[in-house]
């Protein structure tokens, strides 16, 4: 088993590490985008049902991260990639956490009303 791990490690160059890191960052960003989009859609549905105004700013935050995610492979150094990923992460999770804090109680009331009806 040790021989197998050493063989893998010997082929894992800095260039391979950087490529895998970028692919992983893009994959996680896309997964986070989908998660935030679903939460925003649910929140929007509940807002419409309760005749409350539409969500706008959180979609702008999500849109910013959608715009930045394809730029990950274009950044030349790994430090820049990590900084870009940090900005993407902050935009996505600002939208997600804001939705959970502001919409959570409304969604729970909506679901309770649906179950009791």
Question: CB under 8 Å to 46, separation ≥6 — which residues?
Answer: 103, 106, 107, 110
Q: What are the angstrom distances between the C-alpha of 51 and each of 38, 59, 96, 111, 113?
A: 20, 19, 21, 15, 15
Backbone angles phi, psi at 56, to 5 degrees: -125, -55
Count Cβ atoms below 10 Å from residue 100 Cβ, excluding itself.
13
Name the band, by pLDDT with cuts 50, 70 and 90, for residue 12: confident
Q: What is the pLDDT of residues 38-66, one digit of tens each?
A: 999 999 999 999 999 999 999 999 999 99
Structural domain total, the chain: 1
Q: Residue 72 belongs to what domain range?
A: 2-116
pLDDT band at 2 (very low <50, low <70, confident <90, very high): confident
What pLDDT score does 102 carry?
93
What pLDDT shows up at residue 5?
A: 75
Summary mean pLDDT of the chain:
91
| Phi and psi torsions of 77, nearest 5° | -110, 155
Answer yes or no: is pLDDT of 117 > 90. no
Q: Using one digit for the tens of pLDDT, what is the confidence trace for 19-32?
A: 888 899 999 999 99
Indicate the length of the chain as a whole number. 117
* Residue closest to 104 by CA, chosen among 56, 12, 39: 39
Q: Which residue is associated with the tokens 């010997």?
A: 10
pTM: 0.82
């Amino acid at each position: 088993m040790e021989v197998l791990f050493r063989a893998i490690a010997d082929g894992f160059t800095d260039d391979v590490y950087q490529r895998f890191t970028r692919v992983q960052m893009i994959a996680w960003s896309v997964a986070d985008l989908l998660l935030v989009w679903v939460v925003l859609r649910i929140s929007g549905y509940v807002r419409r049902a309760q005749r409350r105004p539409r969500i706008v700013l959180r979609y702008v935050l999500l849109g910013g991260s959608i715009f930045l995610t394809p730029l990950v492979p274009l950044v030349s150094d790994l430090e820049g990639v990590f900084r870009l990923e940090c900005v993407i992460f902050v935009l996505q999770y600002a939208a997600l956490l804001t939705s959970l804090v502001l919409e959570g109680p409304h969604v729970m009331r909506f679901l309770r009303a649906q179950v009791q009806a």
